[in-house]
Structure 1
Amino acid sequence: MRFKSITAALCLGLAIPATTFAQSVQVPKPVAKALDKVKPNDVSAHIAYLADDKLLGRKPGTPGYQMAVDYVTGQFQKMKVAPAGENGTYLQTVRIRTATTNPDAALTLTSNKDGKAQQLQNGQDFILYPNPGKPQVEFSASELVFAGYGISAPDLKYDDYANIDAKGKVVVVLRGVPEGFPSTVASYSMDMQTILNTAAEHGATGVLVASTNPKGKLPDFSRGMSSVMGADGGVAASRSYHNNINLLGMLPYAMLQQMLTAVGQDAQQLASTIHSGKPASTPLPFSISGTYGSSYNDIESYNVVGKIEGSDPVLKNEYVVHSAHLDHIGVGKPIDGDSIYNGAHDNASGVASLLEIANVYTRIKAKPKRSILIVMVTAEELGLLGSAYFAKYPTVPANQIVADVNTDMPTLIAPLLAVVPLGAAHSSLEKEVNAASSYLKLDVEADPEPEQNRFVRSDQYSFVTQGVPALHIKYGNKTADGKNNLDEQVKVWREKYYHKPQDNFEGGVFDFEAAKKYVQLNFLIGYLVAQDADRPSWKEGDFFGSRFGRN
């Protein structure tokens, strides 16, 4: 139990019942006064600017995104938030490469039994991801092996790689998880980067992801896939690249069935078997060879980083991060006559929340013991790229970042009565969440929509994969009428507004009193972490702590 260390660290009279660790907390008067001064109109004003048509959807690399950067840095300067980017500025340069696969990509499937070769049709029999690190790739015949879901999790008593040799081979995998995997573990397991990392760890040189839907179509990669490039020209961060994987592609159901028929298996039956938790990996009597090229478009964008320096002479060298993505998806396909994807909720609302969190700190004379970083990241919509780059190459010592509290599209369209702290259950951050929520009279609930895989779909996940305990506060289901079905209202909202031009400030649906409470909650979580003498820690035996936790 850590309540004693929190009490000692705060030294401010926190009342924490020993029987329910941090279920209630008495906030010091100066902090409580600063929290009370959060104004819904200030949140509204930030969103109104960031979601204005003149910013043209804040797409990275555009003048509209630069306007958003300038707005945030201007607010930081006004609040006297210190710069914490590169070279004494508020900015961290993020070099984004969007790669597309050239149309002449060619694959040949050869039977290892009779040597018969089959020229596969690009776009019909396969589609390849571009390679951001190698403009031209040629690979000779590599044997294929079916590797189930591509999961290696002996601690969960499931391992698709246990009885196969994948070294030097191309693995054919399905997207999914065995039944019974917890939702956050399932999200991690299905993430493409996890699949690639696992394949590479077992010596594979390629990954082909096959569909189990007989009527499914191959995806359209014509818009390309984005990665972050390092100053040395290498790939620094990507959700669809591994340096040791030369081939990443997708196969339709018909190709999967053809491969499995050759070993006396049926795709649907095999999918059912592995879903039940029984690995069914097997060598396939085929080899694959081919060549493909990738074309590149490179731009520069920026993360914006501000700092509130801590007060403790030692702990001020450690950092609690509040993160939110500044970008959206720009101008696109018109819907009902509007082509500007303003992103008022996604994620101007999150940026506004962080600006007001910083503003709370400006009102507090006695700063917390640890320092606070306010980090607005770029290219979240391109695959969590800005946060991945910052988490891996932060502008402060990486091992001094102790926690991340992320804010992404809180969807504040109704009174905020309950919250879902995505990721908090994996670490001691759960205790600060409970304490802050109790103070603000908010219920804490389980994720009402685990199928949305939200844990790996926002920037807190970038910090998790670097070993930093992290969380993301979303709305809960509690409603004032007692029906407790807010998720139904959100689903209706999402269908109309999410990633559409209709996500505007003008004419949008907002509850700014809920936004005020959301700011207060996220501030207080970070504040409690910053005051605690102990660093946040992964829970003993936790799935993510065991994979990414720092020694």
Structure 2
Amino acid sequence: MKLKFTATLASGVLLSLSTGVFAQQKLVNPAVDAAMQTASADEIKASITYLADDKLLGRAPGTPGFQMGADYVIGKLTEYGVKPAGENGGWTQQVRFRRTFAGKTGSATLTIAGKTDSIKYGNDIFIYPDPVHQVVTSSGQLAFAGYGITDKQLNYDDYAGLNVKGKIVVIVRGAPKSFPSSDASHSMDLITIQKNAAAHGAKGVILAVGDSTARPILPNPGRRGTYSIMDEKGVPVVSRNYFGGVEMLAMVGYKTFKALAATAGKNAGDVVASIKAGTPMSFPVNASVSATADFSYQDIAGFNVVGKIEGSDKKLKNEYVVHSAHLDHLGVGQPIQGDSIYNGAHDNASGVSSLLQIAKIYHNLKEKPKRSILIVMVTGEELGDLGSGYFASHPTVPVKSMVADVNTDMPTIIAPLLSVTALGAEHSSLAAVVDKAARYMDMTVEPDPEPEQNRFVRSDQYSFVVHGIPALHIKYGARTPDGKNNLNDLVKVWRAKYYHKPQDDINGMFDFDAGRKYAQLNFLIGYVVANDPQRPTWNKGDIFEKN
């Protein structure tokens, strides 16, 4: 005999608990369930087909193809009764991109034990592009600060006992192998590294290649340009590499790192092994560096698309659950197998199509949830989560009114959706919501199967997290219908053939019914949050609690 009781979570939302494993849940009432059934695999296919068509030329930000994609989603959102929630009562939020390129000059010298030698700029050292200063010059004494991490929760500090005030810190980018995947991803983010260095008094940061097998010539990002978002006064407000609190962010190769470690009597390989194992090994370096470089700019106009579904509660309708997805892709680029249009069918026409189905579900739901819903199609994700970074920091609603973000990026709908990974949910009360929603849909929730991919910081949910808003990103799990539970093997095959390639078009691998189920799950997560009288909260002591 099964014992069952029912507790009201919020108006119209019921949760049924049972002692039976995966017993049937009643997380939502019949009207909500009926609305969820209106999500359509055929419509997901139709939207992906349009958004990934060659005529949109890969939807690069600031291009006519991106505008065509935006016109399509605005038309669909209007059809589903979503109201514009952008700037000045319209659908859009303007975004000003700046692309910064390496200039024609660059030079550097390294002084070790009083001996000064030139090092080859662009091969052995480079300075990251600076969107503010067309010429960057920096010099100073060096100190090695491990991974450059200070994480009190995990009791790890590379700066403990190390004086870096006024110095340039040398960092190996990474994290101890014991770190949870999302903590590791956040810790090795370039902005996080620079902020922590500046907080300890450093004037600059040099990233050192810690892998002795790496290519000897550095991959200078200034050759193709890096992107930032600027305000009306030309001040960068969002960037994945520029932080104004330090003079310079640079990189050196393994050969230089090995020489610097030797000045302190250290072996570079032993140093990397130690910090990887979780034992900090920071030390002063008997060396100084001087470097200079120039840069050039290209400014591009872009925009986000923002819509609103108004909540039903007089008070809570002024708070928002955000459903986000990036509308942009890579545009036209290097030809592969004779094709140069990077259509972005999976990445991220599939995610945008999911949000459109979420809007459709709400359209078919007579009683809306207590909180309002924002549907946000952002630009510039492929440039470094820039459009979402701008929206999270400069939203078209009061910033403190956003209670959560449920992000949708490349769900990889290539097989039946039986299990999911909720990237980032483990940091907040959203984890419990995901568990309930997944059980309702007869799915299981799994840990991140590929922590080395650093997916947590590589998509738009991270922009909300760093601004203090609990967020998550639902990805596929490993379960398969045959019980082998090896979907990751198929994903690796898919990634090698399609990811960030022109071959990611409508003719690739798809399971559109998995897309329908994915949209339903994301809707359900957002719906439960929108009805809960309590806002989502960070776990006590979590790394993101005080962001």
TM-score by length of 2: 0.96
- Deviation at residue 8 of structure 1 after TM alignment: 4.5
Name the counterpart of 1:135. Answer: 134
Separation in 2, partners of 1:93, 1:279? 44
* Fraction of identical pairs, as percent: 55
Map Cα deviations across residues 161-181 of structure 1 (whole Å, 9 max, x no partner).
Answer: 111111111100101212311
Separation in 2, partners of 1:65, 1:362? 26
Name the counterpart of 1:195. Answer: 193
- For residue 381 of structure 2, give the secondary structure of its aligned residue in structure 1: coil
Contiguous gaps of at least 5 residues in structure 1: none
Name the counterpart of 1:407. Answer: 408
- Deviation at residue 235 of structure 1 after TM alignment: 0.6
Structure 1 contact 354–519 (Cα < 8 Å) conserved: yes
Structure 2 contact 318–372 (Cα < 8 Å) conserved: yes
Name the counterpart of 2:540. Answer: 540
Separation in 1, partners of 2:6, 2:539? 17
- Deviation at residue 7 of structure 1 after TM alignment: 2.1
Structure 1 contact 5–532 (Cα < 8 Å) conserved: no
Letter in 1 for 2:311: G
Separation in 1, partners of 2:432, 2:129? 43
Name the counterpart of 1:122. Answer: 121
Letter in 2 for 1:341: Y
Name the counterpart of 1:372. Answer: 373
Letter in 1 for 2:178: G
Mapping 1:410-489, distance limit 5 Å:
410-489=411-490
- Deviation at residue 124 of structure 1 after TM alignment: 2.2
- For residue 89 of structure 2, give the secondary structure of its aligned residue in structure 1: coil
Letter in 2 for 1:333: Q
1:253 matched to 2:254? The reply is yes
Mapping 1:335-354, distance limit 5 Å:
335-354=336-355
Name the counterpart of 1:269. Answer: 270
- Deviation at residue 22 of structure 1 after TM alignment: 11
Mapping 1:457-536, distance limit 5 Å:
457-505=458-506, 507-536=507-536
- Deviation at residue 6 of structure 1 after TM alignment: 8.0
Structure 1 contact 6–533 (Cα < 8 Å) conserved: no
Name the counterpart of 1:309. Answer: 310
Name the counterpart of 1:157. Answer: 155
- Deviation at residue 329 of structure 1 after TM alignment: 0.3
Separation in 2, partners of 1:147, 1:14? 50
Structure 1 contact 427–538 (Cα < 8 Å) conserved: yes
- Deviation at residue 11 of structure 1 after TM alignment: 4.2
Name the counterpart of 2:174. Answer: 176
Separation in 2, partners of 1:236, 1:7? 43
Separation in 1, partners of 2:21, 2:394? 38
- Deviation at residue 287 of structure 1 after TM alignment: 1.6
Structure 2 contact 12–29 (Cα < 8 Å) conserved: no
1:332 matched to 2:330? The reply is no
Letter in 2 for 1:483: K
Change (3 A) 1:414 1:395: same
Map Cα deviations across residues 125-166 of structure 1 (whole Å, 9 max, x no partner).
Answer: 202211112222223x31111111111123322111111111
Separation in 2, partners of 1:261, 1:379? 42
Letter in 1 for 2:357: E
Letter in 2 for 1:194: T
Give the paired residue count: 540
Map Cα deviations across residues 265-318 of structure 1 (whole Å, 9 max, x no partner).
Answer: 111111112222221111111122232221111101111000000000000000
- Deviation at residue 387 of structure 1 after TM alignment: 0.6
Letter in 2 for 1:509: M
Separation in 2, partners of 1:244, 1:391? 21
Separation in 2, partners of 1:206, 1:426? 31
Separation in 2, partners of 1:206, 1:273? 24
Structure 1 contact 22–434 (Cα < 8 Å) conserved: no
Letter in 2 for 1:72: V
Map Cα deviations across residues 8-35 of structure 1 (whole Å, 9 max, x no partner).
Answer: 4234544245999999334212111111
Letter in 2 for 1:271: V
Structure 1 contact 73–90 (Cα < 8 Å) conserved: yes
Map Cα deviations across residues 223-255 of structure 1 (whole Å, 9 max, x no partner).
Answer: 011111112210100110111212111111111
Structure 1 contact 21–431 (Cα < 8 Å) conserved: no
Separation in 1, partners of 2:505, 2:348? 11
Separation in 1, partners of 2:515, 2:334? 30
Letter in 2 for 1:534: Q
TM-score by length of 1: 0.95
Separation in 1, partners of 2:434, 2:404? 13
Separation in 2, partners of 1:50, 1:431? 34
- Deviation at residue 391 of structure 1 after TM alignment: 0.6
Structure 2 contact 22–439 (Cα < 8 Å) conserved: no
Change (3 A) 1:126 1:5: farther
